[in-house]
Amino acid sequence: MTKESVFSICGMCTVRCPIKVDTEDGVVKWIEGNPHDPGMAGRLCAKGSAGVAMLYDYERPQKPMIREGKRGEGKWRKVSWDEALGYISEKLNAIKEKYGARAIALSDRGGPFRDIHRSFLRAIGSPNYLNHDCTCARNVQHAALSLFGSGRKTFNYDYGNCKHLVLYGRNVFESLRVKAAGAIMELLDRGGKITYIDPRAAGTAMKATRYWAIRPGTDYALNLGIIHTVLRDKLYDRQFVNQWVTGLKELESFVIPYTPQWAAEETGIAAEEIVSFAHEIAQDRPAVIFHPGWMMARYSDSFYAVRTAYILNALMGAFETPGGLFFQKGPGDAGAKGLKSLLDTIPKPDEKRVDGCGWKHKQFDAGPGLMHLFYRAILDEDPYPVKAYIVFRHDPLLSLPDPEAQKTALDKLDLIVAIDANYSETGWYADVLLPSATYLEKSSILTTGKGLKPGFGMRKQAVEPRNDAKPDWWIFKNLAERMGVGEHFKFDTMEDFWEWQLEDTGISLSDLEKKGSVSLTDKPIWWDRMKDLKFKTPSKKIELVSSRLADSNIESFKPYQSPQKPDDGYYRLAFGRSPVHTHGRTQNNPVLSEIMPENQLWLNAAEAAKLGIAHGDLVQVTSSDGSHSGTINAFVTDFIHPESVFMVHGFGRKVPWQTRGYNKGLGDYRFETGLLDVYDPVGGANSLMECFVKVEKAG
């Protein structure tokens, strides 16, 4: 028997934890957190462990398939790779000829493994790269840009040394990042505090020092009340603010009306609590973190809410200090050279983005654009037609609102190609579905890990691909060759590509293979917080009054508007994660589907009593326009705000070939009818939480 171990990177969610994979005779037997990484020390989450079950699941795409029936009907012809790639490249070439390369778009799931497929799109000449972020962190990204001149990933959080961590629905102990959860346990062990704010007492509330059951959608009001108190009672870090913050006067006059008493009315959190919290956290500054999270960020004024969380960090002086937010350092900051990028070797197409980001909509970062504006552009053929869409490691029919509305746009396309390791909802609706090798069956490009100790990381193939699955680099390289742009993709194996990536760095592949990563420095890199901070704004400071926003005639401080109250019998539909599932892609996992086969509807106990619903009863949930409805079991509890109901995201899957997940529970996304076009006008993200549903006892 041959036993082997490789160090690699988990792919069961997008956190990308370092792992060790043990194989016997080419079969994966065991996965654990990489023992060389002190943050992992062998630990892994349930989903990470279920990677083995995913790998050997026979209910995953096995061969390339071309659609035979209508879109979504499920009639497929299994074909060879040669036929599939021939079919796709012929169609893409014809579209390119007739409409130009800009008529071809590609979306993915973001992250550090994008170089090759983004290069493919650039090589054929299209500017239309998109990703998932309009449903995730776009508002946070834009809020960061408006204050710091650079994006949200400029900073990371030193949880372990933090004295007071404030979480707005950032459910750290269930919506997992293994290392962060470990560091936050350390914070608690050292006597640090957590304030957890969520209309629902999620898992993290149980561990928190203070839990505030906020009225949904009012985090902005809460923050305005806290800022009012901090400024009124002079609780801020004067030295830091004088050095690094502009616009304090304007902020001061803006928050005058937003007293703690006013915030209490809006949020349901007592004014005395807000005041005592502000005094308490100021004692612990600068080792404090207001985590801008994700979940504050799904309402139509989330941009401003997130901005106030960042502003609170600035007022507390919580930058570049142990226990606060630190600047993520790259290879250059460690005096080293970075990895080479293929994308940088290919000229940028001289075309405007179809979604208008960065030109028509100047306030929106061009980078990954905005998917909802992309759909709008397909429908209107404005500014130009889009005819083909490649969806790679992304499932918009499950992750953007209102799948039926999305299909109306998709139906205008001549070609949809999906590349996925599972049967995604979008893959099932595509014209061609290509089976992707999973993270255990493929090597990916080397990654740069930014942080206090920058370094490089490696995802290394542990076993041969099963069935006819292929690694994505192979798929895009072959497509490029068939489209006549193969000269940019000269590598034959991932090892070739790795060698090229490392060329300037002085690091060898064997250095990386030893432990799965290489650090470019022994000591953490901290900059002098009073001298060396690198804010990228024109003023080189944190701009409370933002020059970036002013360029687009957008106000830096927006007067508060109270969120809509639901009508009788209606509730705001909140969603979130389960610790044992990743979005909608693990509901069919042989192990995880057994641990949590379906979701439930959290419903406030007093509301349930009014509706005559008892714990465990079957309830009927209907979208606000009446077009979508389904039944689910009620989880009746005092621990959710009366205006909200909650379900774990990602259930209600409709791909019949996934027998374990098929039709189990309800899909939150299907109730978000009419929301495809509803988004934060400054932050850009879809307002997924502006969704109301009717709840009744099922008849």
Binding site for ligand SF4 (CB under 6 A): 10, 12-13, 15-17, 44-45, 47-48, 176-178
> Which residues between 157 and 176 bind ligand MGD (CB under 6 A)?
168-171, 175-176
The alpha carbon of residue 147 and the mean position of all alpha carbons in its chain are separated, in whole angstroms, by 21
Query: Where does this chain touch ligand MGD (CB under 6 A) — which range of 193-201, 341-349, 405-413, 447-455?
Result: 193-201
Interaction between residue 72 and ligand MGD (CB under 6 A): no
Cβ–Cβ under 8 Å, residues 291 and 170: yes
> For helices 260-267 and 219-232, what crossing angle results, to 10°?
170
Choose the one of ligand MGD, Mo ion, ligand SF4, none that binds residue 577, judging by a C-beta under 5 to 8 angstroms depending on kind.
ligand MGD
The three-point CA angle 568-198-16 to 5° equals 125
DSSP state of 640: B
CA distances from 422 to 116, 469, 653 (A): 21, 11, 12
Question: Which residue from 163, 200, 470, 488 is in contact with ligand MGD, where contact means CB under 6 A?
Answer: 200
| Closest separation in Å from C-beta 652 to Mo ion | 19
| Closest separation in Å from C-beta 578 to ligand SF4 | 12
Three-state secondary structure string covering 351-380: CCCCCCECCCECCCCCCCCCHHHHHHHHHH
Question: Which residue from 375, 474, 669, 679 is in contact with ligand MGD, where contact means CB under 6 A?
Answer: 669
Whose Cβ is closer to ligand SF4: residue 34's or residue 406's?
A: 34
In 203-259, where does DSSP find H-type helix?
A: 203-207, 219-232, 238-244, 248-255
| Closest separation in Å from C-beta 464 to ligand MGD | 15
Please report how many Cα atoms fall inside a 13 Å half-sphere around the Cα of residue 29, on the Cβ side: 10
Contact track, ligand MGD, 412-451, x by CB under 6 A:
-------xxxx-x-----------x-xx------------
Three-state secondary structure string covering 194-207: EEEECCECCHHHHH
> Which residues between 557 and 576 bind ligand MGD (CB under 6 A)?
574-576
Question: Which residue from 67, 393, 628, 653 is in contact with ligand MGD, where contact means CB under 6 A?
Answer: 393
Interaction between residue 195 and ligand MGD (CB under 6 A): no
Query: Which tokens go with 317?
Result: 């002086």
Interaction between residue 368 and ligand MGD (CB under 6 A): no
Whose Cβ is closer to ligand SF4: residue 53's or residue 334's?
A: 53
Interaction between residue 134 and Mo ion (CB under 5 A): no
| Closest separation in Å from C-beta 53 to ligand SF4 | 12
Choose the one of ligand MGD, Mo ion, ligand SF4, none that binds residue 44, judging by a C-beta under 5 to 8 angstroms depending on kind.
ligand SF4
> Which residues between 83 and 142 bind ligand MGD (CB under 6 A)?
109, 132, 135-136
Q: By three-state DSSP, how is residue 566 classified?
A: coil
| Closest separation in Å from C-beta 352 to ligand MGD | 25
Question: Which residue from 50, 84, 134, 136 is in contact with Mo ion, where contact means CB under 5 A?
Answer: 136
Whose Cβ is closer to Mo ion: residue 295's or residue 619's?
A: 295
Q: For the chain, count helices (H), then strands (E).
A: 23, 27
Q: By three-state DSSP, how is residue 546 classified?
A: coil
Choose the one of ligand SF4, ligand MGD, Mo ion, none that binds residue 646, judging by a C-beta under 5 to 8 angstroms depending on kind.
ligand MGD
Three-state secondary structure string covering 411-443: CCCCEEEEEECCCCHHHHCCCEEEEECCCCCCC
Whose Cβ is closer to ligand MGD: residue 418's or residue 542's?
A: 418
Q: Which amino acid is at 499?
A: E
Whose Cβ is closer to ligand MGD: residue 135's or residue 321's?
A: 135
Residue nearest to ligand SF4 (CB): 48
> For helices 248-255 and 219-232, what crossing angle results, to 10°?
110
Whose Cβ is closer to ligand SF4: residue 159's or residue 258's?
A: 159
| Closest separation in Å from C-beta 206 to Mo ion | 23
CA distances from 7 to 34, 181, 436, 474, 526 (A): 7, 22, 21, 22, 29
Query: Which tokens go with 625?
Result: 């326009």
Query: Where does this chain touch Mo ion (CB under 5 A) — which range of 110-118, 131-139, 262-270, 546-554?
Result: 131-139
Which residue in 544, 533, 685, 684 sits closest to 154, CA to CA? 533
The single residue listed with the structure tokens 């030295």 is: 239
Query: Where does this chain touch ligand MGD (CB under 6 A) — which range of 120-128, 248-256, 331-339, 393-401?
Result: 393-401
Q: 546-552: long-range contacts at Cβ-Cβ below 8 A with a sequence spacing of 24 or more? A: 546/146, 546/147, 548/145, 548/146, 548/149, 548/363, 549/146, 549/363, 549/682, 551/362, 552/362, 552/363
Q: What are phi and psi of 342, to 5 degrees?
A: -65, -40
Query: Where does this chain touch Mo ion (CB under 5 A) — which range of 40-48, 130-138, 180-188, 458-466?
Result: 130-138
The site for Mo ion (CB under 5 A) is made up of 136
The site for ligand MGD (CB under 6 A) is made up of 11, 13-14, 109, 132, 135-136, 168-171, 175-176, 197-200, 202, 214, 216-217, 219, 293-296, 392-395, 399, 419-422, 424, 436, 438-439, 472, 574-577, 579, 581-583, 585, 646, 649, 668-669, 672, 688-689
